Structure 1
Amino acid sequence: MIRARSVVLGIVMGLVICAVTPANNMYMAATPLGGGHFPLAPFFILFVATLGAALVSRLFFRKNPVLTGIELLVSWGFMVVVSGVAYTGLARTFFINITAPAHFATVGNRWKDVLAPLVPKDWAPIDPSAVEALYNGLEGGYRLGWLEVLARIPWSAWIVPLAAWGVFILLCYLVMVCLVNLFSRQWVANERMNFPLLRVPTLMTEAYDQGRPFAFFTDRFLMVGLFIPIFLHTINGIGFYDPAVPQFPTLFLLGPYFPQTGFFSGFSKLRIYFYPAFIGFAYLTARQISLSFWVFYLLGGLLFGFFEVIGYQIPSSALGVTFGPTLTRPEETQMIGAYGVFFLFIVWLARQHLFAAARDALTFRRAAAAESEWISAALSFWGVLAGLGLLAAWCVYFGMSLVPAVLLLGIFFVIMLVATRIICQGGLAYFTLTAAPTDGLLAFFGSGFFSNIGLMMAAVMQKVLFVDLRESLMPSLMHFSKITENVRQKRLIMAGLGVALFLSVIVSFTAMLALCHKYGLRDLQVDWETQTTVGVYENVQRLFDAPAGPNEWIIGFALAGAVIMFVLVICYQRFYWWPIHPIGYLTMYSSAMRILWFSFLIGWMCNQLTLRYGGVSLFRRVRMLFVGLIIGDLLMGGIYAVIGIYAGQSYLVLPN
């Protein structure tokens, strides 16, 4: 049972995070308020709210708490869902993405002649002065108050592009919500999938509901876990602001210990990152999964050396033109085939549920929603079809052919669904794709599959929502579905979710426009944003100048990846003793695993040892130590985020 106040609180605090995030992250370069799928600011607020509510109940002997534990958890869920919209989940590169052809056009790159004519007129401001004001800021804007800046933004130039893109974004959100609802019963109820990123908030709020919040926070194992990150970041934080104070290293370069050639040459850039929170999440993840993450990452390095030893030199030109965010070598395109096969595996596991949902939808049978669903699966089925149909119509309206539009949108949401499974089941607070969705289409069909305008549209649409997944919406929606599994007020949840997503887009865009017009986009911390967005258009122009056909190298490795994933899936399903989970293979070349592999090694080792020599009872007791690692890291991140507001620079606790 939840009350409307918890929904309102979650939405309001989430919108506050959206409003503050652009200035915090891009102007002050402070600790990111989101930063992943276990965002900093929402957890910091949850911790303070839980402790504050417990203190109020104890001091004033309240029998009816201001907020119950499940209400606090639901409020946190709303904050998590919207927190990424203001940064990498949407707004971080959005305005650079839609204005790059106009602003970065030069005589040398010929964008004015090649790209600008292909940009649909409603995609970006027509008035050049509006674009220049975005990058250069208003005259004297840094001296203006925020309300004055908002009043002087040329809204007439922005209203049409924002409306056009708003339709695309909200339709994508509709499809994501319906897909999550369609698969939630299978993942949450039927498969009883583990959600490691939810364990700490759930344990904390359950202790609050049971009337023992102070026993939870004073648990001796938890206190030991808290001490480690607090001590580490206190010393390193002081050293950050005062270089005379020595710091404890949290990054170790192992590359110099490996040869540049030979079997171990793939480890010449190997690094160890020490993040206590990620070790905590790894401990809470199922052993089979945490083992697969670090094993496959190391196998990826060995594969590189193996190819060198046998003299299998793959030319760099074999990679062709790709849009992958971390794709650097042809063998990494195994992930294209692996993602496809794993998607089919997900569908096969859910085949009975999906068949029942489709039958109820096509026969218009009225079926009640399950406990893990916000609405009935049949209604979600129609929502997915309607959303995809409207998105295809949106693409066709702006110039893309129907068949490429349908196939492109299908690939977008296939990748999103697989990534959601990886993040939620694997406990990955930080995740990045290896290959982009369009990489597979270009490899198999060539650039001729798209028209020129279709190719450009595909690249830009992908950059808006479907390639930078560090704060993507869909995994947060699946976490939210698990949180609200036993909440009866489904209509209240759905209404709140719709309002939260709609307002978060408006607030995020407004906050980003205000920041850019006050200081000028070119004077903000946007090197990565500019580089990656300009790279998208450079790749598009390269394909215009030299159209590419199907890439045999990428097709070969994609098929190899599909075969390997098929074998892994068969072994995982057929042999109970099989120790490796297939999702580890999907992260083998992800840049996220370069940071996380050692954390999963330590977490798996501790998990294995406690269960082997102490059983479930020892596992549960030691678990509190790793919960302390997570809470301590996030608390210190929140404290330094506040310090950074006043100091003008912030010590980063978690990766940016």
Structure 2
Amino acid sequence: MALTKTAPHSDADDQTSGRVRWRAVILGLLLTVLICAYTPFHNCFRHGTPLGGGHFPLAPFFILTWLVILTAGIRCLFNARTPLTGRELLCAWVLMVIGSGIAYTGLARTFFINLTAPYHFATIGNNWAAVLQPLLPDGWYPADRQAITDLYNGLPGGRELGLGALMAKIPWQAWVRPLLGWAVFIFLCYGVMIGLTNLMSRQWLRNERMNLPLLRVPEMLETAFDQQQLWPFFEDRFLLAGLSIPVLLHLLNGLHFYFPQVPQVPTLVLAGPLFPQTGLFAGFYKLKIYIYPAFIGFAFLTTKQISASFFIFYLLGCLLTGLLGLLGFAIPAAALGTTFGPTLSHPEEMQMIGAGGIFFLFIVWLGRRHIVDIVAQVAGRQAAPTLETEWISLSGAFWTSLGCSIGLVAWCLYFGFPLLPALFLLGAGFMLLIVATRVICQGGIAYFTLTAAPIDGIFALFGSRFFTATGVLMAAVIQKVLFVDLRETLMPSLMHGAKISQATRQKRTMLTGIGLVLVLSVGVSFVAMLVLCYRYGLRELNLDWATRTTVGVYENVQTLIEQPMTPNRFVLSFAIVGAVFMLALVVAYHRFYWWPLHPIGYLTAYSSAARILWFSFFIGWACNTLCMRYGGVGLFKRARLFFIGLILGDFMMGGLWALVGIFMDTSYLVLPD
């Protein structure tokens, strides 16, 4: 019998087949655990650049870049197969991205303050003991008051204890019940997000062919690595020119941070004093110009229509403030009433409630045929096609989302949340998550914040009595856990993971890795934060913002309990204006190919992200426009390496200064917190 010689397996075979081995998943899990364990200490105690901040987090990309360089070096030195392909390195990176946000603003930053504030900050003056504490659900909060006191003050002698001795003294028994109870809520929410991402991915990624600007740089690193062109990539003169700018900038400013006698280059310009405090341009009185090279790079890689929309709508929002005052419609901030939005400060900003609702309906309308396919598969009238972007079948994702949603409602009912308000809260929360995911992924916004919170819109429509006193408190606390601060929310990272999984065969392997990384990230982040708080005391950490906003939530709850809110005509009026304006925008965007503005720019007009990034998007748009007008596609392809250099330089310097911060009392801040 003749024997056929089998050709040796090569890197090229893995690359063309889209193979992802378990070694990549395990590597991503291990690195995520390290990031989650160190992030609370670095961010809260060292005050350094957030390692997991935003939707293009620092630590995962810094690690990915060095992994690519080291793996390529191993291949070059030993002329051997690499232990990982570029696609596998990218899969490990996206696992780190998914888990890293949980350790900070995505969950852990405010979580323990949220669970202890109504006890620790209760005084005779605010009367929380009589008004709020009787409403607190059993099982949500630790019952041991001494455990709460030690969380804020630190354990006696905790700074001198070793890690093992410190962990032995932490009152774990006080935290077991609330942590397990909230873990059920958190993982049910994550289940809904995974199911929704699986349902939306084919429509967004294949049918609409949505660009994902935040993936451009990691994918270029992967391509250069797999094609063995990594060194020519890093030697490109355009890339080196772009890289040199943030390197020199942060080298000088970082040295100034530690040695004030070294001169610095200002990265913040207060442009407000150039404008009057009254008149048409009054809204520009607090205008600031931030210089972030990485965000200029992201703006260049985003389509011109989107990048232009971000800064144009922000400037128009500032102009509206002055115009209303000029026309005699200067509505005081007090007319807004009691709200929970992270940046909501004026009634006109409630346009975003109506705008967000209309844009969600626009997303549904664009995917109407895909929704019909989902219904047909769930009903069994249509066979499930081959998986393309999905981790599991559409019917499986539907039942996963539905089952986890029913579980969330049951969880709310178990703790005393009325049924109808719970349905409205969860529905509004996930609706805004879908809208925010579209804005972040399509717009390439690495730093995004909401203007209004989900319950702001519900209260404006129905008033606070709709929720009952207990419902108001529970809604505010639930919202604070996962639905209000979207700087590191999970769904955009899941969508990026779906895009990366698209070119792989082992989609179930990736889904298993995502499930494991979520469990490990939540567990490690909780333990790391508790260890940090009981060692140093929460009051000694860099958590003033988290404390202030959480206390503000309970103050607002008390206000609504004592003085229930009725539907607000000012808020409703601006919400209707926002809905009408967004409707006009989506019609113009969808019907007229020449229309210059994208609707998602309007959704960011009043967010803190727009205040920080508007100038970066202006510079990125201007450079993109000039390249295409005077050099065409050829110049654009060459020039984009310059802007990729800006991104690489910013994140490499952020990572290097974070390493320096390990040995110093504080750390130089490269990216926004």
Q: TM-score, normalised by structure 1?
A: 0.99
Measured against aligned partners, the alpha-carbon deviations of 1:291-350 in whole angstroms (never above 9, x if no partner) come to 100000000011011001111121322100000110010000000000000000001101
**What is aligned with 2:32?**
14
Q: Per-residue displacement from partner, 1:58-109 (whole Å, max 9, x unpaired)?
A: 00011x2111100110000000000000000000000000111111100000
For residues 189-237 of structure 1, give each alpha carbon's deviation from its aligned partner in whole angstroms, at most 9, with x where no partner exists: 1111111111001001110000111011111100000000001111111
Secondary structure, counterpart of 1:272 in structure 2: strand
Match of 1:173 in 2: 190
1:32 is the counterpart of 2:27: no
Q: Which amino acid aligns with 1:487?
A: T
- Give the equivalent residue in structure 1 for 2:450: 433
Moved more, 644-653 or 583-592: 644-653
Q: In 2, Cα distance between the equivalents of 1:429 and 1:282?
A: 10
Aligned position for 2:558 = 541
- 1:496 & 1:245 partners in 2: Cα distance? 46
Matches within 5 A, 1:53-452: 53-62=71-80, 64-363=81-380, 367-452=384-469
Indicate conservation of the 8 Å contact 1:32/1:40, yes or no. Answer: yes
How far residue 366 of structure 1 moved from its aligned partner, in angstroms, is 5.0
* Range with bigger deviation, 144-153 or 253-262: 144-153
Deviation track 1:265-316 (CA, whole Å, cap 9, x = no partner) reads: 1100101100000000000001100010000000001101100111112132
Q: Quote the residue 2:648 is aligned against.
A: 631
CA shift for structure 1 position 369: 4.9
Q: Which residue of 2 aligns with 1:568?
A: 585
**Residue-pair matches, total:** 655
Matched residues in 2 for 1:387 and 1:615: separation?
A: 49
Query: Aligned Cα RMSD in Å?
Result: 0.9
Q: Secondary structure at the match of 2:140?
A: coil
Aligned partners of 1:13 and 1:37: how far apart in 2? Answer: 17
Q: Distance in 2 between matches of 1:370 and 1:446?
A: 45
Q: How far off its partner does 1:368 sit?
A: 4.0
Deviation digits for residues 577-598 of structure 1 (CA, Å, limit 9, x no counterpart)? 0000000000000111111000
Matched, 1:619 2:636: yes
Question: Do the aligned residues in 1 keep the contact of 2:46 with 2:666 (CA within 8 Å)?
Answer: yes
1:43 maps to which residue? Answer: 61
Distance 1:31 1:644 in 2: 10
- 15, 20, 27: which is aligned to 1:2? 20
Residue type matched to 1:2 in 2?
A: V
In structure 2, distance between residues paired with 1:363 and 1:554: 45
Aligned twin of 1:484: 501
1:652 aligns with 2:669: yes
Superposed displacement of residue 31, structure 1: 2.0
**Paired AA for residue 251 in structure 2:** T
After TM superposition, the structure 1 stretch with the greater mean CA deviation from structure 2, 136-145 or 555-564, is 136-145
Q: Secondary structure at the match of 2:289?
A: strand
Partner of 2:5: none
Report the equivalent of 2:10.
Answer: none
Structure 2 unaligned regions, length at least 5: 1-18
Match of 1:530? 547
Q: Where do 5+ consecutive residues of structure 1 fail to align?
A: none
CA contact (8 A) 1:369 1:375 kept: no
| Structure 1 segments (4+ residues) deviating >2 Å | 362-366
Give the secondary-structure state (helix, strand or coil) at the position aligned to 2:663: helix
Query: Contact between 1:400 and 1:451, CA under 8 Å: does it hold in 2?
Result: no
TM-score (norm 2): 0.96
Distance in 2 separating the partners of 1:364 and 1:157: 51
Maintained 8 Å contact 2:373/2:382 = no
- Identify which range, 572-581 or 308-317, moves more after superposition: 308-317
- The equivalent of 1:595 in structure 2 is 612
2:478 aligns with 461
Cα displacement string for residues 578-632 of structure 1 (whole angstroms, at most 9, x for unaligned residues): 0000000000001111110000001001111111111111111100000000000
Deviation at 1:512, TM superposition (A): 0.5
Give the C-alpha shift of residue 364 in structure 1. 7.4
Equivalent residues of 1:168, 1:394 under 8 A apart: yes
Shift of 1:365: 5.5
CA distance in 2, matches of 1:28, 1:536: 27
State the distance in 1 between where 2:374 and 2:233 align. Answer: 42
What is the distance in 1 between the residues matched to 2:165 and 2:542?
A: 23
Inter-CA distance 535–466: structure 2 relative to 1 (3 Å threshold): same
In 2, distance between residues paired with 1:107 and 1:355? 58
